[in-house]
Every structure is written in C-alpha cells, then in structure tokens.
Structure 1
Amino acid sequence: MHAQPKLKVTFKNPFKSVGLKLFIIFFVSSIVFVLGIGLYSYSQSKTIIKEQSSEANYQTMVQAREKLDLIFSKYEDLSMQLLMSKELQENLNISISSGESDYNKFSASKKVSDILQQFSVTNASISGISLIPMKGDTHIESTNGTGANVEEIRKKDWFIDALKANGRTVYIPTQTGRLIGGSQEQTFGMARQLKDVLSGRTSHVLLIELKVSEIGKNLTSINLGDGSDLLLLGLDNQVVYSQKPELITQKSALVLPEAQEANQGASATVTNETGKDFLVSYSPLAASGWKLVSEVPVKKLVEKASYIFNITIISAVIATIVAALVGLWVVGMVGRPLNHLRNLMNQGANGNLAVRTKIKTEDEIGQLSRGFNEMMDNITSLVQHTSQSASDVLHTASELSDASKKTAISAREIAVATEEIANGASNLAVEAERGNDLTITIGTNMSKVIESNMEMGTAASEVERVSEQGISHMNTLTEKTSLTEEMVRSLVQKVNALKESTNSIRKILDVLSNMTKQTNILSLNATIEASRAGAAGKGFMVVADEIRKLADQSRQSISIVGEITDKISGEIVETVDVLSTAYPIFQEQILSVREANEIFWTVQGQMGGFIQQLDQTTDSIQQLDQSQATLAEAMSNVSAVAEEASATSEEVASLSNEQLSVSSNLIDLSNKLEEVSTRLKETLSRFTL
C-alpha cells in the first residue's frame, strides 16, 4: 500500500455557496412578503376607519345641530311672544311714563315682573328674563332681582350689539355667573330690542338668560369615545358648551376645516398645537351662527387597526424563525451534500481512488452521488486492470524483449489515447450531471414563476370585481343626485308660488287699507252729523268715535302686517336666489358623478384586458416549462452517451492488451516493453486503491 497523499484544503468565499444563496433568497423573500402585506393592510384599514368615522361624526353633528336649532327656535318664539304681549307693553309704558303717579308706576312695574316671572317659570331651561331700559335712570325689570347697575349693563358688548341689530336676536356666549342679578351658575343668553307694536318705539332691550346645563341634557346621548369632546363655539371661538366643564368660557385654539359651501359644515383631520391629530367635524347653527363641533383623537379611532400592525410584526417574527429554519434545512439538504461531493472529488483528483459517497437519497443529489461512485468504480477497475496488465507484460518481458522493444512506441501511444478517452468520458459525465442539476433548478424556478403569475391573475380579478362594485355605487349615487335635483326644482316652484301668494296678500292689505280710510271718513262724517243733531245725536257720536278708533287700530295692524309681509317677501326672494344658485351646482354634481362612473367602466375594461394578457403570459410560461422538460431529457441522453464513451475506452484498453499479446512474436522489442512497464507501475503507484 502506498502512502495516502495529503488533501489540499481550499477556502472559498461563503457567498458563492449555492446553499447560502438559496437560504438568503428564501429568507428575504418571506420577510418582505409578510411585512409588505401586513403594512399595506394596516395602512388601508386606518384610511377606511378615518373616512367612515369622519362621515359618521359629521352626520351626528348635523342631527345634533338640528335639535339645537329647534330648541333655539323655541326661545325665539318665546321672545316674540313677549314682544307681541299687549299687556306687557301697556304696563311697561305706564312704568316709564312721567305723567303717571308713583302708585300706578309701581303697580305697572309689578305686573311687568309678574308677566316675566310667568314666562320664566313655565320653562325650566330659562335662568332669568330681564328688560333693560335703553335710556334714562329707570330701573331694570328682571326675574333675578333689580340690583344691577343700569349704566354698567349699557356698556356691555352684548347690549351694544343688541342696539345695532335693530330688533334681530343677538346671542350671548356663556358667562361665568348670570348676566343680570349675579350667581355662580353658568348661563348664555339672547337679547333683542323690545318694540311697541303700535307706536314702533323701542324703549327696552329684552334679555333671556339660559342655563348651559340644558344644552348638556340635550347632547348627553352623543358619546364620541374616550379623549373626545363635544363643543359649542361662539362666533369668536369662545366655548359656549363643552363636555369638559373647565373649557367653558375659554377661547378655543381649535382650527376648524374649511367648508366647501357657505353656512355648511365640514369634517377633516386636524393637527393641534401639541402635534396630535384629531378628527374634527362641525355644523353651524342656523339662528345664532354658532358651531357645534366634535373633536375625536385619531389615535383612538385607529386603535383597533393597530391590532393588524401588531399581528404583522408577530407574523414577521414567526416568518423570520420559520424562514431561518427552512433555510437551514435547505442548506443542509443541498449545500452539505454538494460540499461533501466536492471534497471527495478533490481527494479523487489527488489520487485516492478508494473514496466513496454514502448519500443514498432518491433526489438529484442522490443520483449525482451514485454517478460519482460508479465513476470511481470504473476508474478503479481501469487502474487495477492496467496495473495487472503491466505486471503481465513485465513478467513476459524477458521472453519478448525483442518484440516488446519494437511495439513499445505503439503501446505507449495506445495507452495515452486510452487515458485521454477515459478522462474525456469522465469529464463529460460530470458536466452532464451538472447540466442536469441546472435544468432541474430552472424547472423549479419556472414553477414558482407560474404560481406568481396565477396570483397576479387572482389579484387582477379581485380589482375587476371591486370596479364592478364601484360602478354599482356610482349608479346608486347618480339616481339619488337626480332625485335631489328634482326636489330642488319642486322647491323652487313652491317658493315662487308662495311669492305670488305674498303679492296677493299685499293686494288684499291695500284693499283693507282703503277700507280703513273710508271707514275713518265715514266716522268723521258721522261725528259731524251727530254734532249737528245736538243732544239727540250724542249716542251716535260715541259710536262714531269708537268706529274711528277701530279704524285707527285697523290701520296700525295693517301697517304691521304689511311690514311683516314685506319681510317675508324679501326672504322668499333671497330663498329663490339661493335655490337658483344651488340648482346648477346639483347639475354639475350629476355630471361629475357620471364622469366618475365612466372612469370606473374604463378601469373595468382595462383590468379585463390585463387579465387576458396574464392568461397569454401563463400559456407562454407553460410552453417554456415544456421546453425545459425537453432540455432535461436531452441532458440525460448526454449522460448516457458519456457512459457509452467510457465503455468504449475500456474496449480500447482491451484492444491494447490484445496488441501486447500479438507482440509476443516481437522478441527484439521486449527490452523497451520492460521499461514502459516499469514507468507504468510508477505512474499507477500514486493511486490508492
């Protein structure tokens, strides 16, 4: 036995290893896929939650605003009842008249207080009702006491605004304590000039103080969640009401989103001064112009969506662990056997023909291992056969020295050719096995490409389905917008009819005014005739005087009704103008909805074409997969040809031995044959069997 040659160890770059490359590709693709899907789902869920919450909060504000408008309209009606109370006007005029006695003034003032107290007691939300004189040093008539200083009240901003409003209602934001009388109860109020319906003179300002707690009672059913707030903001952003009592009467720093139309609300995400995002929705009150505002933290809205983010992180961690384990398994299954075969080939190249692999799997690596063992067996048989032949030639060299010398050159050339053929066959077998492995790898990658293409087709089908849903929603929106347009058109027609009715009322009032003038003239003529009649016409004179007074009162009432009719007519004209402006906007909205519907149809058509292209791509990839199978079969044929070439080389070696047997007759060449045999033994000595 010869000494085993030393194994040369070569250190290579680990990143050139097939096993490590497979591990990195599998690991990175798994993590990227899990994180991508999870983060996309998290982002989409946040967006959907914010959009739905924005619409829901805005609708809630609109409903709550309508409820507050109804309550405020009741307060408006109450002030109008006080304004039209003839008893209140008469006693109020007596209390400030300089020609009346003190007793009459006191009695009249007492009746005024009783009337105010009666209105205040009938409504629990009223904290107090007061009448403040516009001039003079008369006292304040109030249900909360009369200890307030008149001059100080007249300097208040709300009092000055009430004078400028010329009879319209002025709303007063929440104050700490009552406006009149003093108290710690928080109140807000409404003020307007009190006009005499007969004379048209204004002498007092009516102030109705309302409890802030009543607003809270009407808004208790609205729960926006933890950290949220429901506010009622005045015209200067002063907090009239808040679910957080400490904010009432404070200035709000909240920035409201801009509305698309005047006197309309809006809903949007706003960042406050602390950097936190809030979903802000508001709707303005019709009478006061105050804004009902909801403030909801975005963090609370998307708190449920963070569950998806947490699941994504957990899934990514699990996917990392699973990908690492699977990657290590792949490395162990592919990389380790390949490294083992590489080391055995290095040992075989250094002369150790006894090396064999023990891998017995049924996959491609097992086939490669069996091919390696067969190759080493063939090479060993070849070396043993050559060594035996050399021994036989050396044994008979003495008898065939002359013939051996003559055939030495031919034998040496045949041996060299045989070795080259054997080496070429072995290299061809190795390259064939390597090509077969590459073909199998290509087939695996082609399968993955086909699966990815099918997933893209599924996703495209889902997009097409969503486009169909969008088209359905847009059709529904188009129908509802058309109904809204018809309702606006009908409302315009009804308002025009109301305008014509108002003009008819005006004509009737003109007729009544003429009748009143005629009645007044008849009363005057009757009085003249009664005075001519003397004592006999006194009774008729009293009747004529009453008729004249009745005519005066009718003239004043007709004048007041005429003013109210003019005001109604003006408001009807303004309503017609607003509806005329809104009608083209509804038509533009219908046009925009139809254009959006066409866009959805276009998207659906393009997605259908994209799906067809994906189907064509899938067919092409399947054809390529079939071509790859054909290539694998061709590589197997190449391997078979290599084995046949190896068998042919053995036949050539056999022919060489036959030629050596023929050389027995060439005795004169035996000396050279002996030398060749000696060199052949030296060459074969480096192989370990």
Structure 2
Amino acid sequence: MERRRILGIEGLRGIKLTSPMKSIGMKLFLIFFVSIVSFVLSCGMLSYSISKNVIQKKVSQSSLETISQAGMKLDFMYKTFEDIMLQLNLDNDLQNLLAKAQQFPPGSYQAMEIAGQLTEKLNVIAFSGKSISSLLLFQPDGRLIALTGSGSNSAVENVEQTDWFQAIKNNNDQTQWLDSKAEGYSGSYPNTFAIGRVMKNGEGSSKGVLVMEVSTELLNNELNSLSLGEGSQLSITNSANTNIATLKPGELGKASNLPLTGAQIDAGRGLFTSANDHIVVYYHSALSDWNMVGDIPIGLLVREAADKIFQFTLVAVLCAVIAAGLIGIWVVRVIVRPIQKLRDLMKQGAQGKLTVRAHYTSADEVGQLGASFDQMMQHFADLVRQSGDTAHNVLETANELANSARLTKTAADEIASAMEEISAGATGLAQESEKGNALTEHVSTQMKQVTEANFMMGTAAAGVQEAGVKGAHEMDALMANTNRTEEMITTLIKKVGAFKESTTSIQSILDMLNQIMKKTNILSLNAGIEAVRAGQAGKGFMVVADEIRRLAEQSRHSIGVVGQIMNDIQNEVHETFNLLESAAPIFKTQLQAVRDTNVIFGQVTSQMAAFIEQLGAVSDSVSSLESKQVILSDTMMNVSSVAEESLATSEEVTAQGLEQSRVSDKLVQLSDKLEQLSQGLHDTLSKFDI
C-alpha cells in the first residue's frame, strides 16, 4: 500500500498546468460561442441585405410608375400647348392679317395698324391661359410684328441669327420646343421656356414665326407635386442633358448631374443605379423630346429598415452570447471535467500504477470512455503479469538455444570444408566444357557464313539469268526496230530521189515562165510604140500596155525569187540524199551487231541456268552440314549447362555451409543477448504495481 501511495504522489507531480487556450473545454466553449454568435449575426446581415433589395426594388418600381404618370401628365400639357399653336396657325383672320402685314413697309401707318390688330388677337389667347407669359410673332426674316405682355421690341431685335429662331425655321411644319432660359425670350419674363412654329398659309408659303413663351414655374409646380422619398431630386432635361426645369436655384440651363445615354432615352422610360449608389428613374416625352428624371438615394430608402434590423440583430446577438455562455458552462461540467479526470488517471498509469480506475456510471460517451479506460488498465495489468511469466520462460529457453547453436556451428564448419573440395572439381569440368562450347560456336559461325555466301551467289546468279533473259527480249525488240529503221531509210532515199527529180522539173517550168515574161515585156513595148503612133486615140491602149509591162516586170522578179528558193531546195535535197546514202551501210552494220549480241545473250542465259543448278546442289549439302552442326552445338551447350549447374550447386552449397556457420555464430550471440534481454524484461516488469 505504501508503494502504491508513493506511485500516486509521483504521478500527480508529473501533471503540469497548461494554458487555458489549449484546454478542450475552452475550445468547445469558443466553438459554441463563435458559431452561435456568427450564425445570429449572419442571419441579421442577410435579413438586412434581403430587406434592402426588396425595398429598393419596390421603391424603384413605384418611383418609375410615379414619374411615368407625371411625365404623361406633362405630355397632356405639352399637347395642349401644341394644339394652341396649331389653332393659331389655322386661324384665317390671323393668316389674313399676316398676309397684309407683308404688303406694307415696316413703320408705315398700315403696318402699325395691322400689328395692333395682331397684338389684340394674340392677347386673347395669352390671357385665356395663366401659364402663357407672352406670345411673339415675327416676320420670316426675324423682324418682330406683334408682342403680348409687357415686353419691349428692343429685347427681341436681331433674333434671325439666334440658334432658337433658326431651329424653328428648320423644323418647318412641326412645333419646336425651345430650352429654358434664365433671361427669357421676350426680355420681360425670366426663367421661361418657349414653343415655336412657322406660320404657313394654305398654299404652304411661310408668313411668319410664332413663339409662345411659358414660365418654368409651370414645370416646377409639377415637380413640387411629386415626392419620390426623402432626399430625392427631380428635374426636367433635354436630350443633351441640360436642365429645362429644376428645383435647385441657379441650375437652370446648366448640365444635369443625372445624365442619360442615347440608348436610355430611346427606351422611353426606365431606371438604373448610378455610380454614387442612387436609383435614377426617368421618363422621355416624345412630344417635347424632354426627360423627367428622378434621383433617389438608396441609403435613405433603407435607413429606417436598417435601423430596426440592426437593433433586432443586437438583441439577438446578446441573447446568443448568453445562450452560448450557458451552453459552454454545461459542456465544461458534462464533458471537460470527466476528460480531465481521465487525463490525470492516465498519467498515473503512465508512471506504472496500473490499479487506477475511473468508476464512471453514466451511459453516455464519457461514461463509455471511463469504462473503456478501466478495461484497458485491467488488460494492461494482465498483460504485465503474463509478460513476467513469459520472460522467465524465455530466459530458460535462451540457455538451451545457446547450447544447440554451438553444436550446429561445429557441424556447419565440417560441411563447408567438404563442399569446398567438391566445388574445385566442378570448376575444372566447367572450364573444359566452356572450351568445347567455344570451338563449336566458332564452327557454327563459319557454317553460317558459308550458307550466307552460297545464298548470295544464288541470288546474284538468278539476277544475272533474269537480266540475260530481259536483255535477249530487249535485243529482239532492238533488232526489229533496226530492221524497220533500215526499211524507212531505204524508202526515204527513194522519196528524196523522186523529190530531187521534181525540183528539176520545176526549174524547167520556171525557165519557160521566164521566157514567156520576156516575150510579154517585148509585146508591151511594141504596144506602147503603136499607142504613141495612134496619138490621142491610143491613150487608153497606152495605159493598158504600161500596166502589162509593169505586171511582166513583177512576174519576172517573182520568178527570180522562186528560182533562187528552188536552187536552195535542190541543194538541201542533194545534201539530204547524200547523207541518207551514207547512213544506209551504217544501219546494216548495226543490224548485224544486234543479231550477234542476241546470240551472246542466249548463251549467257543457258550457262547461268547450269550454274544455278550447281549452286542448288551446294546449298543442299551446306544445309545438311549446318543441321548436324546445330545438333553438335546443342549437345555442347547441354554439357556446358550441366557443368555450370554442378559448379553453381556446389558453390551454393559451399556458400550455404559458410552462411550456416555464420548463422550459428550469430545464433550463439543472439542466444546470449536473448538471455540478457529476458533478464532485463523480468526486472522491468517487476516495477509495475499490479
């Protein structure tokens, strides 16, 4: 008991306090804590993201519908203004007054009277609608005719060169919407936009230019009536993204901070998210070519929902922290403490105290772990006890094994000595058989060379015979061709001789024609003389005589040329005839040589056939000799193999004998070492408390 107590104290001394972060309890606590808090925080952030997207989508669609309805309302207003402009253009009284105004010079009494009538008529229209600031009527050249309201003529002078006046004229029969101007168009009303149209009569000729000036307050009122949410902005821009109406002071006529692309304008309406994280909704008016644009900050849209979700997330995280702490404490009590107790018991067991037990009674995994620990320690104690008994038996067996190993070593030394003598005799036999095998291989090599040479001679003879037969056939063909060539040469000589005689006949004909030409020339001279004698009556005959003489001279010259050509042909034919007569004997000699060569090829073919037959007999003899040589080589190889196997076997037996001797020495050493180890194992096992 005292020894066990000492072992227990020593085991507890070996237990070292570790860092809390290395404790499985702290790790489990952190896992539960971080997992629960992270899950709750992730759910809160996910809820915020989903809510933000839903709110953003709903508000975007709602804002798009709102701004679309407002845009259509403005379209109705734009249509009203265009109808007023069209009504004025179709007014017959107004058209008649415009026609009269062009008939009188500016400044005349009639022109001023007509201008007054036009002003009164325009005032009726201007006063009928509070939104119309003024109406301006110009001549096609830009000269002002009539002006309603309190405007002055000096403010609208020289308008013919302005961009807006040229735009109205270039738009022809259509209404032209003019951008807002801070100074206005009439000089009397600031911050106005205008609508212009060319006034034409029924014949289509231009009678004037009508401009309706409208205050931007009308558009601002429409913008004020809309609300897209906190922090939102509204404006009306043209296709060049210039502000037509805006609630920001000083921004009228400047570039909009909410520009639209051409593709977006072509779409008519839509929404997108800007670079500064704002939702932009827009509506494009096909009547005025203006855009109503709204800007809504996303952050302000979702701020209220985000605050509520954030507060809920904080509460949930706080609850999760409390729950995670309670779960962590419970895990430490249920799992960690029993494991720490098992750790302490295992360290005591490692110090040699195999009697420690956990004695856990719970049915969970921790209880099963304690029961397994108790079984393991019991098995260790049984194993140590059995190992002690086995070590004692091994010690006794080691002594007996050492004695047997010494006897085995003595017998192995004697066997090794006898096998060395047997190996020496087998070595001599193997050397002699190797010499005989080498001679047999040399003879076999020579026989193979003879066989190969005989085969090559047979192949060459067959080739020569084949070449002789082919040469004989070729000589037959050559002899036939030579005979045909000789016949063709003979025929050609005859043809050339006949052609030579024909050229001689042609020369005779040319001589006769030459004589005729001379006579014709003489006759033409006589005819000329007679024509001269005849005087005036013979002039026609004189012309005929001169023509005959000229033709005779040309014929003489042509006959001379033909004669020269015929002389050249006769010379060439004569040379050809001589060459053919010289070649005929040569072809006869060649034909005789071909016949002699054909006879020689026939003799070569016959002699090579006899030579091939003799080579066949030699090949049969060599083949028979080679087969006998193969049998002899196999026999010598078998003898050599048997000798080598005998030598190898004797060497192997000798080596095994030597190895057995070394093994016996090693066995003696191992027996001594086993005896020492058995004694050491017995001493070590005696230290365990079982």
TM-score normalised to the size of structure 1?
0.49
Structure holding more helix per residue: 2
Larger radius of gyration: 2
TM-score normalised to the size of structure 2?
0.49
